[in-house]
Amino acid sequence: MRNNIFGFSFLLFAVFMISTAFTSSKINDFESDSKSLALIKALEKTNGGWKSLSKLKDVEYLYTYNDLSKKAKDISIERYIFNGEHSWADYKTDHAVNVMPGVAGAVKQCYMDGKAEITLDGKQVTDPKAIGGTAFLRSANYYWFTMMYKLDDPGTINKYLGTETVNGIAYDKVSLTYENTGKDADDEYILYFNPKTHLVDQFYFSLPAFGINTPIIRMELEYEKMKGVYIATKRKGYFPNEKGEYNLSGIYTSSNIKFKNKFKKADFAL
């Protein structure tokens, strides 16, 4: 279960080696907060912010989750309603990575008002692990799609970490975590803001739910602008090996994106 998200294992040595790369000297908290807020506001000015995304009401798209290490894919039709953060998906054939791998049949998932449901060939699945995995994946997929519009949500904590040059670009780095979530350990992100485009080109993150408590997984983003908003239509995930070297572990693409489908909660019921 621990490696299902990317199918790539690594050693504690790599965790230590990579995590030390983020121990930059911080300036005082007040200045850190103002710098991180300015970077997020510049991003929102570029991508339109949550108001622009929420005006589009809902979305449907084809999501291809390509796990390169397993040579397997999850392919789903994803649907979200932004008001209420309702999430739904239909895996007609391909679900060999994170969604009941090894089990044949069409799978549907939904997550509404804190309740997850899953069906296999139209029949309710009652296995607690399958339901728990559904709750995690429905929330995660929704978050990946909307992430750049939620960086200053209530409960987020942002700190400026200075700059780091990557491929000739001097990125501004911002840490992002959360408070008062009730979790034993909260997700943590290190965001790299492009000073020219104001978009986040890459970030590192942790996955405490899967035992990865340090932000060492790298995600690189490619955007497309549509309906006035920027959507990360291609993401590339990298894991470190035992030497601390990063290897491409997965490619995740969103295509055939359609907004304003007039979805209602009742449409997501299984």
Positions of E strands within the chain: 58-67, 72-81, 86-91, 107-112, 115-120, 123-124, 156-166, 169-178, 189-193, 200-207, 212-226, 229-240, 246-259
Which CATH fold topology does 12-268 show? outer membrane lipoprotein receptor (LolB), chain A (2.50.20)
Residue type, 37: L
**What is the per-residue pLDDT for 184?**
61
Helix or strand holding residue 15 (H, E): helix 12-19
Q: Which tens digits make up the pLDDT trace of 131-166?
A: 999 999 999 999 999 999 999 998 899 999 999 999
Instruction: Indicate the pTM of the whole model.
Output: 0.87
Q: Which tens digits make up the pLDDT trace of 168-181?
A: 999 999 999 987 65
34 pLDDT above the threshold of 50: yes
Rounded Cα–Cα distance for residues 135 and 129 (Å)? 10
Q: How far apart are the first and last CA of the chain?
A: 25
**What is the per-residue pLDDT for 3?**
37
Mean pLDDT of the chain: 88
